[in-house]
A = this chain, B = another copy of it.
Amino acid sequence: MRFDLTFFHVASIVISVLAFATAVWLYRWVVSQPSSNKRVAEVGQLIKRGANTFLAKEYKALLRFSIVAVLLILVFLPSPIWKGDPVINITMALSYIFGTVFSGIAGKIGISIATIANVKSAEAATKGIKPSFMAGYRGGAVMGMAVVGSSLLGVTLVLLITGNTTALLGFSFGASSLALFAKAGGGIFTKTADVSADLAGKVELGIPEDDPRNPAVIADNVGDNVGDVAGMGADLFDSNVASMAAALVMAASLGNPEENMKMVLCYAGIGLLASIIGVFTANMKEGGDPTRALNTNTYVTTLLYGVLTAIATYAFDFNWRIWGASAIGLFVGTIIGVATDYFTNDKKKPVRMVAKACESGPAFTITSGVSYGLLSTLPAMIGIGISALAAYKIVAPLGVGGNEVAYGMFGISMAAVGMLSIVGMIISNDAYGPIVDNARGLVEMGDLGDEALEITDSLDSAGNTVKAVTKGFSIGAAGLTVIALLGAFITEVNDAIEALGGANAVDAFGKSVEKITGFDVTDPIVFFGLLVGAAIPPVFSAMLMLGVDRNAQRMIAEIHRQFKEIVGLKEGKPGVEPEYDKCIEIATEGALKELVPAGLMAIVSTLIVGFVGGVNAVGGFITGNIVSGLIFALFMSNSGGLWDNTKKYIEAGNNGGKNSEAHKAGVVGDTVGDPFKDTAGPSINTQITVVTLVASMLATLFLTFSIF
């Protein structure tokens, strides 16, 4: 069967709408679950209000950032408005706005369902594990459907309306800007609250976790939502859009653009369809294993994707090589997920060894946790390397007559699309985690009984285990995506040269510029970029972590003030409540304040390297950024996850159990791991995407105005 591109546009829109319909259905289902406990509802309201406060401030900060970005885009991008076609600049700016708005709406939906589902899941826990699980899972799935539906819809609409793939970079950059605020800002918020609540509450005052007297306790629960639900959703929205944008930009520059673009839309649509089906297969028997239930959906979705895309490839007469690239991406993604699991699973050697090391004190907890985190980078790096290599080699032969490189890079972008095809499922699983984590807190605060606590504990622990797999998956996918974006950067540069006059193109100083075919590391300009680019992710992570430290100090001071000034708070006098809002405010404002310098550092260094060294330096810069960014993202996420599970493993009665010396050391590990895994590690993906997109959008300017 042969259909034209419009058919696939329409199909994408239909599937996106189907995803929204699913989200609405799930939303209603969750809302319709019973909730009667007053205390739970009350605390739930506090959390909801806090999350909305953060979101409102975040979006306001983003608005200010976006106004500057939009103005700059209007005037300068893709080329200075007085030189190029103003309509293109306007399209780019509108696409950017569109990108932030779409991602912002998805985040808003996610937060609002998460702050309902937590209450429902808590209540349901009094009835059994199944209803509690379903409330948590379906709440998460709303987010999954909303994110993937809106990213596919957004990309298709931009493509349809502008007919211009470069505008997609603007859309993608919009999504990245929001992700930067949501993921890094949310990450700082959540760890500020978490660390301060623990330190001032548990350690200094000796009151239990989730004790309502602690002024930071609501901020802590809010943090789970803004960091792990909204932040994670924005991050994966960003990766998903970036992978599609990279694939479409390259598809449009190849021999048979329509045919290639069809495939991108078709595979992405099928991925979403498979996720929708997967969501409905999620089920568990009473007394079943929640981890298995979550993983089963992932495998069902993966399998469905493989089969359905194969059928589509046959039916629509697509090229099998490109299908192969996308299938390899998904296959390797699964492998990476499983390998990551090994390093954070409490049934495997690393957690056991670190738990043993905890017996010798915190220093050993740290060195062994750091060591296993560093070891964990190897399988993922090999996996990303092999899938990129295989995808390239499979697709390159299509580019007969000197076009192999471009086709090869397109192959890599299709592997990224493949790896991200099941992103709907991944988000559902990921958002499930903080919802049931919140539910656990609500059960505790609402005094719903030990049995309910046990149930939510086991749901929470399943969330942690599954998170390892999905996190490995998303870092792998981000890796392939940014490699593909490197390809998109080359395409943009060469398009810009074409626009400047092709073989006769000259820069602003009259020096002739030539098309690039790649970046040779023995070119010292490229190597210079490589070294500087490699330093950016560690510096970015360090700035975020120091931000958490500073912010936590402000919040701890506030907690001290409240315990000092609010009479009866410490003693738990009935009717006396802490000023929860103050803590939420501090976490919010601090997060946004600390995030900006880190984000600017990444963007400004791209500009400096670009205007000094030109496009070749930028190519090296992006490469260095990718390579060291992946390593640090993997290292920090996995070390953090490992410490988290080690602490839980000890708390379950091993190596001395709760309140032993080993436990204290485990708590230190967990506290170090918190900003590693929830602030710095996962924000690196976004940082790389932002840098790469800024570079792609500024390609013309770098070409025209660089010193070297």
Q: Which A residues contact B (CB, under 8 angstroms)?
A: 195, 199, 203, 357, 360-364, 366-368, 370-375, 377-378, 381-382, 384-386, 388-389, 392-393, 405, 408-409, 412, 483, 486-487, 490, 517-532, 534-535, 538-539, 541-543, 545-546, 548-549, 553, 556, 619-620, 623-624, 627-628, 630-631, 635, 667-668, 671-672, 675
Identify which of B357, B368, B539, B627 contacts A374 (C-beta below 8 A). B539
Given known A-B contacts A538-B635, A541-B374, A627-B628, A524 and B362 have beta carbons under 8 A apart: no
A522 touching B631, Cβ below 8 Å: no
Given known A-B contacts A371-B542, A549-B367, A534 and B628 have beta carbons under 8 A apart: yes
A363 touching B668, Cβ below 8 Å: yes
Identify which of B195, B371, B385, B623 contacts A546 (C-beta below 8 A). B371
Can you offer 12 A-B residue contacts whose CB atoms are under 8 A? Answer: A195-B363, A199-B361, A357-B549, A367-B549, A373-B542, A374-B541, A375-B539, A385-B530, A388-B527, A389-B528, A487-B522, A519-B522
* Cα A520 to Cα B486 with chains together (Å): 13
Which residues on the B side are within 8 Å of A630 (C-beta)? Answer: 531, 534
Which residues on the B side are within 8 Å of A526 (C-beta)? Answer: 521
* Nearest CB in chain B: distance from A408 CB, A: 6
B672 touching A408, Cβ below 8 Å: no
B672 touching A538, Cβ below 8 Å: no
B631 touching A538, Cβ below 8 Å: yes
B405 touching A522, Cβ below 8 Å: yes
A524 touching B412, Cβ below 8 Å: yes
B527 touching A389, Cβ below 8 Å: yes
B627 touching A542, Cβ below 8 Å: no
A378 touching B539, Cβ below 8 Å: yes
Which residues on the B side are within 8 Å of A361 (C-beta)? Answer: 199, 203, 668, 671
Given known A-B contacts A486-B522, A522-B490, A366 and B672 have beta carbons under 8 A apart: yes
The number of times this chain is found in the oligomer is 2
* Nearest CB in chain B: distance from A349 CB, A: 11
Which residues on the B side are within 8 Å of A668 (C-beta)? Answer: 361-363, 366, 668
* Nearest CB in chain B: distance from A685 CB, A: 16
* Nearest CB in chain B: distance from A8 CB, A: 28
* Nearest CB in chain B: distance from A321 CB, A: 14
B627 touching A545, Cβ below 8 Å: no
A393 touching B487, Cβ below 8 Å: no
Given known A-B contacts A522-B490, A522-B518, A545-B371, A532 and B363 have beta carbons under 8 A apart: no
* Cα A364 to Cα B362 with chains together (Å): 12
Which of A364, A619, A627: most chain B CB closer than 10 A?
A627
* Cα A371 to Cα B535 with chains together (Å): 13
B362 touching A546, Cβ below 8 Å: no
Given known A-B contacts A375-B542, A675-B367, A531 and B381 have beta carbons under 8 A apart: yes
* Cα A539 to Cα B631 with chains together (Å): 11
* Cα A386 to Cα B527 with chains together (Å): 10
A531 touching B382, Cβ below 8 Å: yes
Which residues on the B side are within 8 Å of A529 (C-beta)? Answer: 385
A388 touching B524, Cβ below 8 Å: yes
* Cα A239 to Cα B487 with chains together (Å): 37
Identify which of B486, B490, B531 contacts A385 (C-beta below 8 A). B531
Please name the 3 residue pairs, one residue from A and one from B, whose CB atoms are nearest each other, closest first.
Answer: A363-B671, A518-B520, A392-B524
Which residues on the B side are within 8 Å of A556 (C-beta)? Answer: 360
* Cα A486 to Cα B526 with chains together (Å): 14
Which of A366, A388, A535, A671: most chain B CB closer than 10 A?
A535
B631 touching A377, Cβ below 8 Å: no
Identify which of B377, B408, B487 contacts A538 (C-beta below 8 A). B377
Which residues on the B side are within 8 Å of A382 (C-beta)? Answer: 531-532, 535
Identify which of B384, B412, B545, B623 contacts A521 (C-beta below 8 A). B623
Extra contacts besides A366-B366, A392-B524, A519-B521 (14): CB < 8 Å: A362-B362, A362-B363, A362-B668, A367-B545, A367-B675, A370-B672, A377-B538, A382-B531, A385-B528, A408-B524, A486-B521, A521-B521, A531-B630, A534-B630
Which of A388, A519, A525, A548: most chain B CB closer than 10 A?
A519
B527 touching A199, Cβ below 8 Å: no
Which residues on the B side are within 8 Å of A393 (C-beta)? Answer: 524
Which residues on the B side are within 8 Å of A363 (C-beta)? Answer: 195, 362, 667-668, 671-672
Which residues on the B side are within 8 Å of A405 (C-beta)? Answer: 522
A631 touching B534, Cβ below 8 Å: yes
* Cα A370 to Cα B667 with chains together (Å): 18
Which residues on the B side are within 8 Å of A370 (C-beta)? Answer: 542, 545, 672
B627 touching A531, Cβ below 8 Å: yes
* Cα A408 to Cα B525 with chains together (Å): 11
User: Residue on B with the closest CB to A371?
Assistant: B542
* Nearest CB in chain B: distance from A623 CB, A: 5
* Cα A543 to Cα B376 with chains together (Å): 12
Identify which of B525, B548, B627, B635 contacts A627 (C-beta below 8 A). B627
A409 touching B371, Cβ below 8 Å: no
* Nearest CB in chain B: distance from A560 CB, A: 12
B531 touching A384, Cβ below 8 Å: yes
* Cα A528 to Cα B480 with chains together (Å): 12
Which residues on the B side are within 8 Å of A539 (C-beta)? Answer: 374-375, 377-378
A623 touching B374, Cβ below 8 Å: no
Given known A-B contacts A409-B522, A518-B520, A519-B520, A672 and B367 have beta carbons under 8 A apart: yes
Which residues on the B side are within 8 Å of A366 (C-beta)? Answer: 366, 668, 672
* Cα A546 to Cα B357 with chains together (Å): 10
* Cα A155 to Cα B620 with chains together (Å): 34
* Cα A517 to Cα B535 with chains together (Å): 26
User: Residue on B with the closest CB to A520?
Assistant: B518
* Cα A529 to Cα B388 with chains together (Å): 11
Which of A381, A386, A628, A675: most chain B CB closer than 10 A?
A381
Which of A373, A519, A527, A531: most chain B CB closer than 10 A?
A531
* Cα A360 to Cα B635 with chains together (Å): 25
Which residues on the B side are within 8 Å of A543 (C-beta)? Answer: 371, 375
Which residues on the B side are within 8 Å of A535 (C-beta)? Answer: 377-378, 381-382, 631
User: Residue on B with the closest CB to A669?
Assistant: B363
* Cα A199 to Cα B408 with chains together (Å): 55
* Nearest CB in chain B: distance from A533 CB, A: 9
Identify which of B372, B527, B628 contacts A628 (C-beta below 8 A). B628
